[in-house]
Amino acid sequence: MTAPGDGPRGAVIERENPSRTSELVGTVGVSGPERVDALVRRADAAQRSWAATGIARRLAALAAGADAIAGRLEPLAELLARESGKVLADCRGEVGFAGTYLRWVVEHAPAAYADREIDDAAGRLLRLPRPYGVVAAITPWNAPIILTLLKVAPALAAGNAVVVKPSPLAPLAVSEVLRLLAGALPDGTLAVVHGDAAAGAALVGHPLVRKVAFTGGGVAARQVAATAATQTTPVVLELGGNDAAIFLPDADLGTEPMRRLVLASFATSGQVCMAAKRLYVHRDRRDEFVAAYRAAAAEVLRVGDALTPGVSMGPVISAGAVARIERIVAAAVARGATALPLGTVDGGTDLAGGYFVAPTLVLNAPDDAEVITGEQFGPTVPLLLYDDEEELLARVNADELGLGGSVWSADEERAFALARRVEAGFVFVNTHNRTGLSLRAPFGGVKRSGYGREYAEEGLAEYAQTCVVHAPGPFRPGGAGLPANAYPG
């Protein structure tokens, strides 16, 4: 892999440990515009020969990369935990799942990227899935490895070259993963640049970038889309959500469902786009739900240093995140809401030494409070009550975001019937967040939560464009022909 950028001398990104902010985890050099330009041009030159190698050799390289990553699982997981504050067990899971996804791409790419031909009385039609060229991937910090490989793996399999710009909040582990993957690839095919919005703009707006894949927030997404539009470059956007978890009156509020729900809200300290962010419960079951939810949180939520065994929720990513989340909760409380503390705290953790925020369940907040209308992206979640399904759906669907949601019911048919009416790109049934994902299920949002899909065949298709060769039947040998001004039949 081409090394990170060499911006102005001394320009580096320093990454601290959110669990222990006095610890410097590592640094990366900032890539200036000239470096971004050089790496994109190099990727463009490498892409044509990479595409010409054939899919079998491309997939063999991805499989070798997956093996290399698997061999470094433990140090990669520890590095990710130290730079992001995500607990070590979840970091192990992310690195392992990245390898699983790479191997899934290896298995399914041949069918997704195969030529398809029809030869019949209507004519001879050849569909050719062809790579775009250079793909720019702009990736976030909260699950940097898997959210990067969701773009890089299918793009490479399709025959593209890729230049990645990771988030400056978690650049270290993902850069090492990409280095390991690039070790199996031709030089220049996969490169990494580092920096803030300026580096991203230089990459996205480069005239040799033919497609952009972005995961992140709405403000940055609009900047990315606007910059890409200057070159008419197509974009895939996977953005935030304000996912509603809907509990129908017959929903199971037992220990296991409640444990799933608590972790669906508080995994990665709630900093997940598809986390359960609004809990809707029928008014008649309010007290039962609150008691069950708090009991489950007491069992599964233990706040502390991300590297401490048994800790299930670490810090948030930055001091700014702490201030924002505490402000949102305080504003709700000032308007009459109650913030109930959840879980327990690890006794060996110095909470004052990191970016820790106490997990809370917010009760009685007005529907226009920011804790309900905005994506909290932190360890707090509001409980809302409803009386009937039509009123419920109106409130759920009024939100401008539409990434995910969930419906919980003992009656699967009833759950599916309601889920069909939820305005979201992905609706889970009787679970939420990553336990409800599947490699065969396309994931992405509607409304202001973006466009395009990841996972499944649809995720593979994002990185190839269909080109066509067509001989209409009437003009083939023996055909009867058509008038020169005929429309297609």
Class of residue 217 by CB neighbours under 10 A (exposed 0-12, middle 13-18, buried 19+):
middle
Structure tokens, 38: 């050089």
Which residues, in sequence order, are CB contacts of 299 under 8 Å at separation 6+? 255, 259
Instruction: Please name which of 81, 30, 122 lies closest in space to residue 312, comparing C-alpha atoms.
Output: 81
Distance (Å, rounded) from C-alpha 119 to C-alpha 474? 13
Structure tokens, 418: 């309601």
Q: What angle do helix axes 197-204 and 218-229 make, rounded to 10 degrees? A: 30
State the CB neighbour count (10 A cutoff) for residue 227: 20
Residue 10, CA distances (Å) to 28, 30, 36 in order: 10, 9, 17
Which single residue is written with the structure tokens 């599964």?
Answer: 300
Distance (Å, rounded) from C-alpha 480 to C-alpha 179? 58
Active site residues per annotation: 238, 273
